[in-house]
Amino acid sequence: MSPMVSRPFSMEYALLGLLRHGPQHGYQLHLQVSRSTGLGSIWRIKQSQFYALLTKLEQANLISSAVQAQDSRPPRRVFHLTPDGEEAFLEWVQAPVTRPFHIRQEFIAKLFFACQEADSIVSTLILRQLAVSRKWLRENQPGPNNHPDKSVFDTFIHRFRRNQVQMIIDWLVSIASDLDIPCS
């Protein structure tokens, strides 16, 4: 298991996903995450942070690198996904996020990569996230556990959170419908 699993979201997994399509040098990888479409539409990373993440991944044996000579230019380092990196990525891309506020970045990054994989991975991710999201909604239903001394503000926040989770569920159901994934 990856040493990064304990973090709620890390761009490291996205880098592993980019390397699943074959070896690349760091600048190529950084260009992919810097575009205004795809991953670049949900997060940004400075080039120095990016290279630090590549170093971290290599130290964790999730990627490896080799220096590649170029004719008239300085050599460059080319990164490859290791079997441990492949395993960590596949585990991550199919796992639902654990908090509603992780939907906006982490889940969407997972969905980005899942759509590049087999249809079964997309289905697995969406169905698992739907199950977790429905659990969030059940846990936030108004009921006898609500304290009568809650302030009006607390009531508004609780309602906001419930509506937000309901919106996530509706969005996931619509994606499932678009992909003909039964999700009743």
The answer to the question of residue 110 being in a domain is no
Give the domain-ending residue among 98, 131, 149: 98
Is the CB of residue 30 less than 8 Å from the CB of residue 77?
Answer: no
Same domain, 76 and 6: yes
Handedness of CA 183, 97, 82, 36 (dihedral sign): positive
Same domain, 14 and 90: yes
Task: Determine the structural domain holding residue 84 and report its residue range.
Answer: 1-98
Same domain, 122 and 94: no
pLDDT tens-place string over residues 106-155: 999 999 999 999 899 999 999 999 999 999 999 887 765 555 667 889 88
Residue 72 clears pLDDT 60, i.e. is over it: yes
In sequence order, the β-bridge partners of residue 31 are none
Total domains present in the chain:
2
Same domain, 48 and 87: yes
Same domain, 1 and 61: yes
Same domain, 165 and 90: no
Give the domain-ending residue among 45, 67, 98: 98
CATH of the domain at 53: 1.10.10.10
Residue 8 clears pLDDT 50, i.e. is over it: no
Same domain, 170 and 92: no
Give the domain-ending residue among 50, 65, 98: 98
pLDDT tens-place string over residues 143-174: 655 556 678 898 898 899 999 999 999 999 99
The answer to the question of residue 136 being in a domain is yes
Q: In this predicted model, which residue has the larger pLDDT, 28 or 83?
A: 83
The answer to the question of residue 149 being in a domain is yes
Tell me the CA distances in angstroms from 148 to 6, 139, 141, 162, 165, one per residue in order: 36, 18, 15, 18, 23
